[in-house]
A = this chain, B = another copy of it.
Amino acid sequence: MSQQALKGHLDMLVLAVLADGPKHGYAVIDALRDRSDEAFDLPEGTVYPALHRLERAGLLRSEWSEVQGRRRRTYHLTDAGTTGLATRAAEWQRFVASVGDVIGRSGPWPASA
């Protein structure tokens, strides 16, 4: 996968896995890898700053906890995060449709699942 393919779409992916339920950072990374069948195996240096950015933007909130001697910061979507995800997902689908128009796709995408 191209190194820049994610640009501008990472926030949506993070919001999407958190829409399933609160998770701490490391679990977000695992969820992205599992759900994408290894396609999105993101380094911590990518995901942690994204989480901080989304919290600063008000789309996430977090609480600290301690589980078996390890500090965890668990993130959950705010209301703004929920609507933000919906907005980004809609934009994504328009983007995909536009790219399809340009590259000349005719039929529906092959199902992956």
Contacts and interface: CB of A to CB of B under 8 A. Distances in A.
Interface string A81-106: 00000001101111111111111101
Contacts of A12: 99, 103
A107 B9 CA distance: 21
Chain A's interface size range is: 35 or more
A16 B98 contact: no
A109 B91 contact: no
B9 A99 contact: yes
Given A7-B8, A94-B39, A102 B1 contact: no
Interface of A: 1-9, 12-13, 16-17, 32, 35-37, 39-40, 88-89, 91-104, 106, 108-113
